[in-house]
Chain A
């Protein structure tokens, strides 16, 4: 058994920042990650870091833009904390040597981005995430922070009191990918989940293959509610074959979208008469799919993004990276032909419910980054707001887990007096009916108070038994088959366009996947670097996460931000200025709601219509 004060799970932007903060607060901190830190998906971020750095800009403007962008589903205390802390955190990165793009006077550059009232996106070329990741990993090396890389965290060691608010998280169980050894990691002060997004729940995503929602699923099974999962951002320009992202910068520089009839459809078919290609991401994604559905797509699948008219010089100056991506991943030369693009799953606005200090309702359990929902992005995330979220809330989670007093949070977590119970919705399949073995769950038995070591040991034992079962079984279903079926169902029915009937169909398929998972087995008998085993465990997590996405999409019968419902084409502020919360309750999901907090420090954010 390994023992540290703070265990950080995941080593992308949020995890690295949390570890550095915990270390600075005096804690003995260790990072446990299924990848080596520099392989984390934060490295793929392109755009930049929103922070009100310049005169004429201020945090209140940043907060206002973010609340509006969220379609009024962000919580004001979280949004204001993001806007207030981002400048200092961004400058802190500069002090750590991050190679930001520079102005002539040597100051960091900032540029305009969608939905921002001031050019406040700080960037390092079109590779901001890469530099952010490496700069923070360098600081981890400098501080000698222990990193267990290529250790896959399978579960949390949590007590099982009936009320999750009374539960305590004492550590994690992980297996060493290289050797297959399963060990406990005891956290004397706290566990910070920083495991990133769940994009692999969809079969066409800009997310890395490693983005399997492990943190979401582990926290969910430990009793922490999962919040607003129906809000999935689909980026309008990803390459059809791989899902590789083509930055919004192409449209920002003047790139044009065409259908198969050569029409500039954003204008000619009236999707966004003012902003055209530069309307918000949800609007453009819907427009592209409408073209394809109405027979005006190219090869019935995608549309064309054309940047040829920008000229080679300008493209090489500002979009060089895009030429490489189109060439390397699609075999298309962007200088001589338009690039094929279609919407791809890109970002989860929702996640593990946390307060502005990163804490979940389970004592000692924290979450930060894309796996968490504070919530700052609400129904729609603005470009450039994901990276400040990592550093601002990663740092807060790390400090709090290390025992620093950050004051009482304004955001409540867990089930309590301020929530509204779900009673109305008819679910297509009784939730949890096919939960069976896939539930995993809390370790201690019968509410018996055990010491931390005892709880950890029992969780390790359960994990070892589970792996043995998977390895000993000689035939059955392979994870890849179940994963493909799940991904297809999500893409078919819980995509940009959603209908009640479709989402129900998806839920039925998800339940089928849960059932089939009972028969899953691992074909590779080796303990050495067994990716078959790892992906089998990840697939269970994807089933849990996909279910929360689909359930959220089913119950929220309104149209807000990225969540489009055919039957309900209006934003229903009267009934839906509230967060969807789903918690795993004794083997089945239960749904409840908590009101959005629109009251900020100095003002209340009044919902307004968004138009383009």
Chain B
């Protein structure tokens, strides 16, 4: 792991009120029925045009890049173009040192979460046509920057591992006899949303509590624990063990229900609700507060 990491200066959300303002009408439209192609007009406008992106640059090793800055790129627009497409174009055509993680391009590998126009989003899942220009692309806030848009994910993984993120049954059925553990469709439905997490780190990055308390388990890890704790196939004893991990000092009780995690989750997981439900479970089980 790289040891030479510096905290870049520019890690705040853009202050430009216009940009923030531009978010809400689009969001409204999304909620309001969505039976029209809401990007068509914008796309038509952009046809044949270039898109202006401002990309955060930083490399601890290279003299000219040790001071964080933004580079401007003008990328030819194509129908369906995503933020990831735009930065890939910029890298392949203009500057091969432009660095970011990406792999699947379809919102399942979770590696291209960026801070785009002041919000945590997956680059591959964000259409350029829905954004105000210039599109400002930064690394996830509250995580150490390794280089350009790449952040150190170690802390995120560590927190995920803290909650014992693996199934723990008390009595494994006979595998040779192909004996299954039964699970009701309802119980499966209950854990379904929590199981969709792709470990992108957007929620953790958006969480004010996590930003101020490095030991806070954070929404992703708690959601991971929720998936197991609510699974009827794990026994009561294990569930209690899980709740004890979750109700520790830096566990569920730290959550202040600001909903920022839920708001940015690219898989629409109701993270905040899951955290509240675990709080209620802990109370029901008579577990004492720390």
Q: Which residues of B contact A138 (CB under 8 A)?
A: 165-167
Q: Which residues in B have their C-beta under 8 angstroms from that of A479? A: 96
Instruction: Report how far A39 CA is from B124 CA in the complex, Å.
Output: 14
Q: Which residues of B contact A134 (CB under 8 A)?
A: 195
- A-B contacts at CB below 8 angstroms, number: 204
A141–B165 alpha-carbon span in the complex (Å): 8
A268 close to B (CB within 8 Å) = no
Is A526 positioned at the interface, with any CB of B under 8 Å from its CB?
yes
CA distance A241 to B93 in the complex (A): 18
Main secondary structure of the interface of B (DSSP, over half): loop
Residues of the A chain whose Cβ atoms lie less than 8 Å from the Cβ of B183:
102, 106
A356 to chain B, nearest CB (A): 20
Indicate if B169 sits at the interface (CB-CB under 8 A): yes
Q: Is the beta-carbon distance between B184 and A99 smaller than 8 angstroms?
A: no
- A91-123 at interface with B (beta carbon < 8 Å): 91-92, 94-97, 99-108
B276 CB → nearest A CB, Å: 22
Question: Within 8 Å of chain A (Cβ to Cβ): is B107?
Answer: yes
CB pair B59 A528 closer than 8 Å: yes
The reply to whether A178 and B165 contact each other, CB–CB distance below 8 Å, is no
Tell me the minimal C-beta distance from A131 to chain B in angstroms: 7
Cβ of A525 within 8 Å of any chain B Cβ, yes or no, is yes
Q: B80: CB under 8 A from chain A?
A: yes
Across the interface, name the chain A residue whose C-beta is closest to B78.
Answer: A241
Compute how far the CA of A434 lies from the CA of B82 in the bound complex, rounded to whole angstroms.
38
- CB pair B146–A178 under 8 Å, yes or no, is yes
User: Which residue of B is nearest A211, CB measured?
Assistant: B103
User: Could you say which of B60, B110, B191 has the most chain A C-beta atoms within 10 Å of its C-beta?
Assistant: B110
Question: B178 touching A328 by the CB < 8 A rule?
Answer: no
Chain B residues within 8 Å of A95, by CB: 169, 172-173, 175, 181
Chain A, residue nearest B266 (CB): A328
A528 pairs with B146, CB closer than 8 A? yes
Interface residues of A, count at CB 8 A: 76
Q: Which of A35, A129, A335 contacts B35 (CB 8 A)?
A: A335
Size bracket, chain B contacts = 35 or more
Q: Of B81, B106, B182, which is within 8 A of A106 by CB?
A: B182
Contact call A99/B188, Cβ cutoff below 8 A: yes
- Is B11 close to A, CB under 8 A? no
Is residue B129 within 8 Å, beta carbon to beta carbon, of the partner chain? yes
- The complex places the Cα of A239 from the Cα of B106 at a distance, in Å, of 11
Closest B residue by C-beta to A103: B185
Q: Which of B62, B81, B82, B196 contacts A127 (CB 8 A)?
A: B196
A102 CB contacts on chain B under 8 angstroms:
183-185, 188
Chain B residues, Cβ within 8 Å of A522: 96
* Chain B residues in 8 Å Cβ range of A528: 2, 4, 59-61, 146-147
B155 at the interface (CB under 8 A from A): no
User: B79 to A325, Cβ gap below 8 A?
Assistant: no
Select which of A43, A210, A242 is within 8 A of B108 by beta carbon.
A43
Complex formed: what's the CA distance from A130 to B182 in Å? Answer: 21
A532 interface contact, C-beta 8 A: yes
Q: Closest A-chain residue to B109, C-beta based?
A: A39
Which A residues are in CB contact (< 8 Å) with B108?
A: 43-44, 127, 129-130
Q: Can you list 29 contacts pairing A with B, beta carbon distance less than 8 Å?
A: A35-B103, A38-B110, A99-B192, A99-B231, A102-B183, A105-B182, A178-B146, A179-B1, A239-B80, A241-B81, A242-B106, A324-B107, A325-B106, A328-B127, A329-B80, A329-B105, A329-B106, A330-B80, A331-B37, A331-B39, A331-B127, A522-B96, A523-B97, A526-B65, A526-B147, A529-B2, A529-B147, A531-B99, A532-B97
B→A interface (CB under 8 Å): 1-2, 4, 34-37, 39-40, 43, 59-62, 65, 78-82, 85, 91-93, 95-97, 99-111, 124-127, 129, 146-148, 150, 153, 157, 161, 164-167, 169, 172-173, 175-176, 178-185, 188, 191-192, 195-196, 198-199, 227-228, 231, 233-234
The 5 closest A-B pairs by CB, nearest first: A97-B167, A106-B182, A524-B97, A241-B80, A138-B166
